[in-house]
Amino acid sequence: MKFLKTVFAVLMMFLVGNISAQKKTEKFEKLQIDMFPKAKEGYKQVFIQLPIAKNENDLKVEFFVGTEKMLDCNKHFLMGKVMTQDLQGWGYNYYDVESTGETGGTLMACPDQKKTKKFVSLQPEIVRYNSKLPLVFYVPKDLEVRYRVLRPDSVMKKAIQK
């Protein structure tokens, strides 16, 4: 009986340790976005606040501006453009997005004509990772911004020479 209690206690400690490790809170810089202009009519202001990370110079952020639509089997993209603007007097950048929400794509035959919900976006952009500054976007109200953090491969590889 003592053996079962010991095993149970060890398992509980392991479980509690795992749960607390998963609840690790990310640290964020206190960001100010008041200095950025207000969104114009028909647009909204969205921003990305990145957590403080080790070796931020090694990281990049890839962002996607788009929307979910019912689409067929073709490859689709959102038409429009992302323009980098300078916040005068601050030296910060923000991103202005122009898009009517129209999509383009390949013209393959889709035999089943089945449509599925997919996220369709403008050409993704990659920017440097900086937890001290927000990534601020002005996008049409029907679009959203998604992002992912790109991390380097831990092993540096050598190119093949001929």
32 falls in which pLDDT band (50, 70, 90)?
A: confident
Cα–Cα distance, 121 to 123 (Å, whole number): 6
Model pTM score: 0.75
Domains of the chain: which residue ranges? 46-107+114-148
pLDDT tens digits for 108-162? 988 888 999 999 999 999 999 999 999 999 999 999 999 999 999 878 889 999 8
pLDDT tens digits for 45-58? 999 999 999 999 99
Cα–Cα distance, 36 to 137 (Å, whole number): 10
Question: Top-level CATH class of 46-107+114-148?
Answer: mainly beta
- What string of H, E and C letters represents the secondary structure of 14-71? HHHHHHHHHCCCCCECCCCCCCCCCCCCCEEEEEECCECCCCHHHCEEEEEEEEEEEE
Percent of the chain with pLDDT over 90: 68
